[in-house]
Amino acid sequence: MVKNFLKKFYIFLVFLFLYAPIIVLIIFSFNNSKSRGHWDGLTLKWYIQLFQDPQILKTIYYTLAVAVLSSLVATIFGTAAALGIDSMTRFRKTVVMNITYLPVLNPDIVTGVSLMLLFVFVNIKLGFISLLLAHITFNIPYVILSVLPKLKQLNKHLYEAALDLGATPFYAFKKVILPEIIPGVITGALLAFTLSVDDFVISFFTTGSGVSNLSIYIYSMARRGINPEINALSTLMFVSVLLLLIVVDRRMSRDKMKGENRA
């Protein structure tokens, strides 16, 4: 009994340590006072001011534009790469998968500095295009890792049977392969979108003046002093990312249950 209580209490302390600052931030985003020292009643004025600020609206536009475009492109290239990797021999697949894991395990600051140097070397001006290319680059491995498990569950003879029955390769892929792997594709796209919205380090090194995402803008606002609009903006980012992660987790759990039922 005591042992179980200590385990639960320890888990409670861990989660309290992780989420207490976020809870405080959310609460003070509704505080009528600019001061963090006392509570002056509920208000939504910081959220209203947030969406009346043209600079913030511009930042939200760049954030969503980069996130949507990078997730779409990364999903297309990542899915194609996963199909190619799945058809490789065991040795080649092992080599390519180890290369695929490198961007995931590599520190973000190393990836960010490397991409910045690459863009400067090939004479790509740092701005929207460089930011978009950087996000596509670090999103592709996550899409590959989301799609490959669905390909492993796929019966490889279905595609060959469709070809034998007269289907073209594209039609067989569209009607046979894609419906089976679409849960992994959607999961990869949602994960790529979430990572793009949330990224700071890589974006910081690969963007130029006049172009920034929400993470960079919050960092620059915090350096000038704590503004209640930061609390409101951070709250909206946290809620948005949390909802996307819940959707991704539910899809992955559902796919896992379907796989177990088939087995």
User: How many structural domains are present in the chain?
Assistant: 1
What is the C-alpha separation between 263 and 256, in angstroms, rounded? 11
Q: What is the pLDDT of residue 260?
A: 59
Q: Tell me if 182 is assigned to some domain.
A: yes
HSE-up (13 A, CA, CB side) for residue 94: 2
Q: What is the pLDDT of residue 255?
A: 64
Q: Tell me if 121 is assigned to some domain.
A: yes
CA distances to 3, 79, 185, 248 from 181, rounded to whole Å, are 44, 9, 6, 15
Question: Which structure tokens are listed for 237?
Answer: 């980012």
DSSP assignment string, 80-124: HHHHHHHTS-HHHHHHHHHHHHHHHHS-HHHHHHHHHHHHHHTTP
Q: For the full predicted model, state whether its pTM sits above 0.85.
A: no
DSSP at 222: H
Q: What is the pLDDT of residue 263?
A: 54
Q: Which residues contact 160 (CB under 8 A, 6 or more apart)?
A: none
Query: C-alpha dihedral over 218, 222, 224, 227, to 10 degrees?
Result: 90
Q: Tell me if 107 is assigned to some domain.
A: yes
Q: Tell me if 88 is assigned to some domain.
A: yes
Q: Tell me if 12 is assigned to some domain.
A: no
| Residue-range definition of the domain harbouring residue 178 | 56-262
Q: What is the pLDDT of residue 261?
A: 61
CA distances to 18, 56, 126, 150, 194 from 201, rounded to whole Å, are 21, 19, 15, 31, 15
Q: What is the CATH number of the domain that holds 172?
A: 1.10.3720.10
**Which residue is it, tokens 């500095």?**
113
Q: What is the pLDDT of residue 252?
A: 66
For residue 241, count other CB atoms closer than 10 A to its CB: 15
Q: Tell me if 246 is assigned to some domain.
A: yes
Burial of 257 (0-12, 13-18, 19+ CB in 10 A): exposed
Residues of the chain with confidence (pLDDT) below 50? none
Q: Tell me if 25 is assigned to some domain.
A: no
Q: What is the pLDDT of residue 89?
A: 85
Q: Tell me if 17 is assigned to some domain.
A: no
